[in-house]
Amino acid sequence: AQRVTQPEKLLSVFKGAPVELKCNYSYSGSPELFWYVQYSRQRLQLLLRHISRESIKGFTADLNKGETSFHLKKPFAQEEDSAMYYCALSGGTAGNKLTFGGGTRVLVKP
Protein backbone atom coordinates (compact mmCIF):
# COMPACT_ATOMS: atom_id res chain seq x y z
CA ALA A 1 0.00 0.00 0.00
CA GLN A 2 1.18 3.49 -0.71
CA ARG A 3 1.31 6.08 2.00
CA VAL A 4 2.43 9.68 2.38
CA THR A 5 3.40 11.14 5.73
CA GLN A 6 3.77 14.79 6.58
CA PRO A 7 4.88 14.82 10.20
CA GLU A 8 4.32 18.52 10.85
CA LYS A 9 0.76 19.81 11.00
CA LEU A 10 1.88 23.38 11.53
CA LEU A 11 5.05 25.27 10.70
CA SER A 12 5.39 28.82 11.93
CA VAL A 13 8.33 30.88 10.70
CA PHE A 14 9.27 34.51 10.44
CA LYS A 15 9.48 36.29 7.13
CA GLY A 16 12.88 35.81 5.56
CA ALA A 17 13.63 32.62 7.46
CA PRO A 18 14.09 29.30 5.71
CA VAL A 19 11.25 26.83 5.71
CA GLU A 20 11.31 23.09 5.11
CA LEU A 21 8.22 20.90 4.92
CA LYS A 22 8.89 17.23 5.41
CA CYS A 23 7.32 14.51 3.32
CA ASN A 24 8.05 10.79 3.51
CA TYR A 25 6.42 8.12 1.45
CA SER A 26 6.14 4.38 1.22
CA TYR A 27 5.71 2.84 -2.19
CA SER A 28 6.98 -0.29 -3.91
CA GLY A 29 7.96 1.07 -7.28
CA SER A 30 8.90 4.31 -8.99
CA PRO A 31 6.57 6.97 -7.69
CA GLU A 32 5.65 10.35 -9.04
CA LEU A 33 5.76 12.91 -6.26
CA PHE A 34 3.96 16.23 -6.15
CA TRP A 35 3.49 19.19 -3.86
CA TYR A 36 0.10 20.88 -3.93
CA VAL A 37 -0.71 24.17 -2.22
CA GLN A 38 -4.01 25.61 -1.05
CA TYR A 39 -4.10 29.31 -0.26
CA SER A 40 -6.86 30.69 1.92
CA ARG A 41 -10.26 30.40 0.21
CA GLN A 42 -8.72 29.04 -2.99
CA ARG A 43 -8.68 25.67 -4.64
CA LEU A 44 -5.89 23.16 -4.44
CA GLN A 45 -3.25 23.83 -7.07
CA LEU A 46 -0.11 22.11 -8.20
CA LEU A 47 3.05 23.71 -6.86
CA LEU A 48 5.70 21.43 -8.27
CA ARG A 49 6.46 17.86 -9.29
CA HIS A 50 9.64 15.91 -8.79
CA ILE A 51 10.11 14.89 -12.40
CA SER A 52 10.37 18.48 -13.56
CA ARG A 53 13.14 19.37 -11.11
CA GLU A 54 11.86 22.90 -11.15
CA SER A 55 11.75 25.82 -8.75
CA ILE A 56 8.38 27.45 -8.36
CA LYS A 57 7.89 30.60 -6.27
CA GLY A 58 11.31 29.93 -4.77
CA PHE A 59 10.36 26.44 -3.63
CA THR A 60 12.34 23.34 -4.52
CA ALA A 61 11.93 19.69 -3.65
CA ASP A 62 14.31 16.83 -4.23
CA LEU A 63 13.27 13.22 -4.40
CA ASN A 64 15.52 11.10 -2.20
CA LYS A 65 14.74 7.49 -3.00
CA GLY A 66 17.14 6.19 -0.37
CA GLU A 67 15.31 8.03 2.38
CA THR A 68 11.94 7.86 0.58
CA SER A 69 11.53 11.57 1.10
CA PHE A 70 10.41 14.55 -0.94
CA HIS A 71 10.92 17.53 1.35
CA LEU A 72 9.86 20.99 0.21
CA LYS A 73 12.22 23.87 0.87
CA LYS A 74 12.39 27.61 0.48
CA PRO A 75 15.40 29.61 1.70
CA PHE A 76 13.54 32.84 2.45
CA ALA A 77 9.87 32.54 3.36
CA GLN A 78 7.45 35.32 2.43
CA GLU A 79 4.13 36.20 4.03
CA GLU A 80 2.30 35.18 0.86
CA ASP A 81 3.65 31.65 1.34
CA SER A 82 1.23 31.17 4.22
CA ALA A 83 -0.99 28.31 3.06
CA MET A 84 -1.77 24.63 3.41
CA TYR A 85 0.72 22.36 1.65
CA TYR A 86 0.04 18.77 0.66
CA CYS A 87 2.55 16.20 -0.52
CA ALA A 88 1.07 13.63 -2.89
CA LEU A 89 2.15 10.43 -4.59
CA SER A 90 1.03 8.71 -7.77
CA GLY A 91 2.14 5.81 -9.86
CA GLY A 92 2.32 2.10 -10.48
CA THR A 93 -0.68 -0.11 -10.02
CA ALA A 94 -2.69 2.77 -8.62
CA GLY A 95 -2.39 4.46 -11.98
CA ASN A 96 -3.04 8.13 -11.83
CA LYS A 97 -4.59 8.10 -8.37
CA LEU A 98 -3.11 10.53 -5.92
CA THR A 99 -2.47 9.64 -2.32
CA PHE A 100 -2.21 12.74 -0.16
CA GLY A 101 -0.32 13.37 3.01
CA GLY A 102 -2.09 14.93 5.95
CA GLY A 103 -0.98 18.42 5.01
CA THR A 104 1.17 21.03 6.69
CA ARG A 105 -0.08 24.50 7.46
CA VAL A 106 2.61 27.12 7.00
CA LEU A 107 2.27 30.43 8.76
CA VAL A 108 4.79 33.11 7.87
CA LYS A 109 4.85 35.88 10.43
CA PRO A 110 5.96 39.42 9.61
Which window, 16-24, 40-48, 56-64, 71-79, contacts another protein (CB under 8 A)?
A: 40-48
List of E strands, 1-110? 3-5, 10-14, 19-21, 24-26, 32-38, 45-49, 60-61, 72-74, 83-90, 99-100, 104-109
User: Which of residues 40, 52, 66, 93 is near another protein by CB under 8 A?
Assistant: 52
Say whether residue 60 binds another protein (CB under 8 A): no
Say whether residue 49 binds another protein (CB under 8 A): yes
Ramachandran quadrant class, 9 (left: phi over 0; alpha: psi -120 to 50; beta: rest): alpha
Which window, 20-28, 44-52, 58-66, 67-75, contacts another protein (CB under 8 A)?
A: 44-52
Residue ranges binding another protein (CB under 8 A): 32, 36, 42-46, 49, 51-52, 86, 90, 95-103
